Chains A and B, each alone.
Chain A
Amino acid sequence: DVKVTQSSRYLVKRTGEKVFLECVQDMDHENMFWYRQDPGLGLRLIYFSYDVKMKEKGDIPEGYSVSREKKERFSLILESASTNQTSMYLCASSSPGQLYYGYTFGSGTRLTVV
């Protein structure tokens, strides 16, 4: 069964910590995305990548960075976690030219920053 796997389902971190959220897909997809989802605000795009070593800012990149060293793995980094980064984080992937299939999402990481 093809899937997008996020390393942690729940995570609690302290303010100021550096936080790594990992996402791995086994569908050989070129495109990968990181979103956060908050009540009333919907899904907001943080960063995306269309290829290895490539990254582009989404709508809310401040306070985040990403890394894509391998095609199957896309990491989201919170350089210095703050309480306003408490959220549900969702990774997604897709294949270029096959947008008919939409995005496939991981199961999400609920991050709490205390």
Chain B
Amino acid sequence: QKEVEQNSGPLSVPEGAIASLNCTYSDRVSQSFFWYRQYSGKSPELIMSIYSNGDKEDGRFTAQLNKASQYVSLLIRDSQPSDSATYLCAVNLRDDKIIFGKGTRLHILP
């Protein structure tokens, strides 16, 4: 059974600090990795995707991928109250399917 594991949280971070979200996956052949943000009662929204080992930055967000360790992370710099949400890590399978972790709840403290 291929899996994506995340700490469920909640992760509480002071406003302005860096939030660090982590994810591990079991399928070594996975090629694409995603972070989705989901506000309460809303649908998931893609915020980052990453294919290659290393870091990818987009504004305040940085995705980090280490395929050897089967580890993906998301850093949110200068955290804002509007970043409070559940963050879903997702990993592709070979047949165009994506599997999702159960998500980490992030709470930014004003």
Indicate if the CB atoms of A50 and B96 lie closer than 8 Å: yes
Instruction: Give the A-B contact count at a CB cut-off of 8 A.
Output: 48
Indicate if the CB atoms of A108 and B43 lie closer than 8 Å: yes
Cβ 8 A contact of A90, one of B43, B92, B103: B43
Cβ 8 A contact of A101, one of B49, B88, B101: B49
Cβ 8 A contact of B43, one of A40, A99, A107: A107
Q: Which range holds the interface residue count of chain B?
A: 20 to 34
Given contacts A90-B43, A105-B43, A105-B45, contact A99 B100 (CB under 8 A): no
Main SS class of interface, A: mixed
B98 interface contact, C-beta 8 A? yes
Indicate if the CB atoms of B43 and A102 lie closer than 8 Å: no
Q: List 6 A-B contacts (CB under 8 A).
A: A45-B97, A48-B97, A90-B43, A101-B49, A107-B43, A108-B42
